[in-house]
Amino acid sequence: MAKTNIKAKNKKSTDIWYVLIAVFVGFCLLAGLLVAILKPTGLWDSITLHTNTAMKSEHYSVNNAQFQYSVYSIYNNYYQQYLSSYGTNYMSYFGFDRTKPLSEQKYFNSSTQSWLDACVNDAKSNLTQILYLCEAARAEGMTLSDEHKKEIDDTIDAISGIAKSYNYSFSTYVGNLYGSKGITRKDIRGMLELQLLASQYTEKVYGDFTYTDEQYNAYYNEHKLDYLKADYYTYQIKAEYATDADEAAKKEAIDGAKAKAEELQAKIDGGESFVNVIVNYELELAKAEEEALAGSDDEKAKADLKKKIEEITPENIEKKITVKAHTNADKEFDDWLFADTPAADGSAKMFSGEETFDLYQVVKSAYRDEYKTVTLGQLSLAIDDFDKMEDAVTYAQKIIDEFNAGSDKSAEAFVALADKYTTDDVTVASTGVTKEASKAGTDEFADVDEWLFSEDRKKGDVKYFEFADKGVAIYVFDEFGKASWNVAVDGDMKNEDYEKLCKELEEKYPVTVNAKAIAKIS
Q: Do 330 and 279 fall within a single domain?
A: yes
Q: Do 356 and 386 fall within a single domain?
A: no
- Domain membership of residue 172 (yes or no) is yes
Q: Do 200 and 300 fall within a single domain?
A: no
- Domain membership of residue 504 (yes or no) is no
What is the per-residue pLDDT across 18-60, written as a single tens digit (0 to 9) for each?
Answer: 444 444 444 444 334 334 444 454 454 566 688 889 999 999 9
Instruction: Give the domain-ending residue among 208, 243, 264.
Output: 208
- Domain membership of residue 294 (yes or no) is yes
pLDDT at site 16: 52
Nearest to 233 by CA among 281, 280, 266, 277: 277
Instruction: Give the domain-ending residue among 337, 367, 397.
Output: 367
- Domain membership of residue 220 (yes or no) is no
Q: Do 196 and 55 fall within a single domain?
A: yes
What is the per-residue pLDDT across 330-382, written as a single tens digit (0 to 9) for each?
Answer: 889 999 999 999 999 999 999 999 999 999 999 999 999 999 999 999 999 99
Question: What total number of domains does the chain contain?
Answer: 4
Q: Do 387 and 472 fall within a single domain?
A: yes
- Domain membership of residue 518 (yes or no) is no
Q: Do 274 and 329 fall within a single domain?
A: yes
Half-sphere exposure of 311 (CA within 13 A, CB side): 8
What is the per-residue pLDDT across 428-449, written as a single tens digit (0 to 9) for each?
Answer: 999 999 999 999 998 899 999 9
Q: Do 81 and 144 fall within a single domain?
A: yes
Q: Do 361 and 436 fall within a single domain?
A: no
- Domain hosting 13: range is 2-41
List strands edge to edge, sheet with 229-238: 322-327, 229-238, 356-367, 348-352
- The rounded percent of the chain whose pLDDT value lies above 70 is 91
Nearest to 282 by CA among 252, 316, 255, 248: 316
Rounded to an integer, what distance in angstroms lies between the CA atom of residue 9 and that of residue 436? Answer: 90
DSSP character for 52? -
- Domain membership of residue 96 (yes or no) is yes
Q: Do 29 and 68 fall within a single domain?
A: no
With cut-offs at 50, 70 and 90, classify the pLDDT of residue 65.
Answer: very high
H-state helical runs in 293-422:
299-310, 314-321, 332-337, 389-405, 411-415, 417-421
Rounded to an integer, what distance in angstroms lies between the CA atom of residue 226 and that of residue 334? Answer: 12
- Domain membership of residue 74 (yes or no) is yes
- Domain membership of residue 443 (yes or no) is yes
Instruction: Give the domain-ending residue among 333, 367, 401.
Output: 367
Q: Do 287 and 202 fall within a single domain?
A: no
Q: Do 158 and 238 fall within a single domain?
A: no
Q: Do 291 and 431 fall within a single domain?
A: no
Instruction: Report whether 474 contacts 379 (CB < 8 A).
Output: yes
Rounded to an integer, what distance in angstroms lies between the CA atom of residue 122 and that of residue 113? Answer: 13
* pTM given for the model: 0.80
